[in-house]
Structure formats: structure tokens, C-alpha cells
Amino acid sequence: MKIDTVDVLIAGGGPVGLALAIELGHRGISCLVAERNDRVGYSPRAKTTNVRTREHLRRWGIAEALRKASPIPPDYPPDIVFATRMDGNLLARFENAFNGQRVRNEL
Ligand SMILES: Cc1cc2nc3c(=O)[nH]c(=O)nc-3n(C[C@H](O)[C@H](O)[C@H](O)COP(=O)(O)OP(=O)(O)OC[C@H]3O[C@@H](n4cnc5c(N)ncnc54)[C@H](O)[C@@H]3O)c2cc1C
């Protein structure tokens, strides 16, 4: 694809650039994503996605494929614990910290 034949040039292949490319593609608008790095970041990112993001992923038809590829299963304990050390005193525990449990949330 040549740059002077596309409707939209997107600078950056992060979540915003890639989401924009998918949206434009679904609407038949040609685009080209230009990313300066050979990969985005060197630490895991977007390991947690919120409800609104999941809505987009479902609409794009990739939600289940991403769920299967996730290294963290949905039933992974979602509590966050603060302690003085690994076997020390418990300071605080936030249960279901990411609202990931498959139970009804009254909020
Ligand atoms: C360690 C870490 C963990 C995270 N975990 C989560 C998480 O679990 N869930 C979540 O929702 N969010 C998470 N985030 C936040 C999430 O990664 C960011 O909110 C998101 O990446 C922002 O997307 P973006 O497309 O705006 O920007 P970026 O992801 O920063 O993408 C911008 C891209 O543009 C490229 N670029 C910039 N300038 C140019 C140029 N001139 N030409 C070409 N390319 C260019 C950059 O190289 C980059 O790839 C995490 C962030 C970090 C750092």
C-alpha cells in the first residue's frame, strides 16, 4: 500500500492507533498505521481490559480469541494484598480489586 493512496495516515500503533485503524477499516476507509518501534513497549500492557473495551473487542469479533490467549485466566484470584512481607502481617486486603469476579455487582 502506498502512502499517497490512503485516506488516513495514523501515527502510532498503540491501542488508540490500532483501534482507529480497525474502526476505519470496518467503515471501508483506507488507512496506514506508521509505528516507529518494532513493538509497542517491553513490559506487558493492557493485561486488564475494562467493560467498555470488551464491548469494542466483541464488536470487532476478537473478544473470545483474546480471552483464550490471556495468560491470566478469568478465575485468577483478583485480590490485592498489602503485607509487611510475604509471610508477614496483613495490612490490608482489597477483594475483587479489578471487579473481575463473575458475580453480580449491585453498583
Ligand atoms: C506497564 C504498563 C501496564 C499497563 N497496563 C494496562 C492494562 O492492564 N490495561 C489498560 O487498559 N491499560 C494499561 N496500561 C496503559 C495503556 O498501555 C495506555 O493507556 C495505552 O497504551 C495508551 O494508548 P495510546 O495508543 O494512546 O498510546 P501508546 O500505547 O503510547 O502508543 C503510542 C504509539 O505511538 C508511537 N509513536 C509516537 N510518536 C510516533 C511517531 N512520530 N511516529 C510513529 N510512531 C509514533 C509510539 O511508539 C507508540 O507505540 C499500562 C501501561 C503501562 C506502562
Tell me, what's the pLDDT at 76? 80
Mean pLDDT of 86-97: 93
Say whether pLDDT at 100 is over 90: no
Tell me, what's the pLDDT at 66? 87
Q: Which residues, other chains included, contact 48 with Cβ-Cβ below 8 Å and sequence gap of 6+? A: 98, 100
Atom of ligand 1 nearest to the CA of 48: 8
Model pTM above 0.85: no
Residue whose CA lies nearest to ligand 1 atom number 20: 15
Question: What is the Cα–Cα distance from 91 to 107, expressed in whole angstroms?
Answer: 26
* Confidence category of residue 1, pLDDT binned at 50, 70, 90: low
Residue whose CA lies nearest to ligand 1 atom number 34: 12
Question: What is the Cα–Cα distance from 72 to 68, expressed in whole angstroms?
Answer: 10
Measure 97 CA to ligand 1 centroid, in angstroms: 23
Per the CB < 8 A criterion, the answer to whether 57 and 70 are in contact is: no
Measure 13 CA to ligand 1 centroid, in angstroms: 8
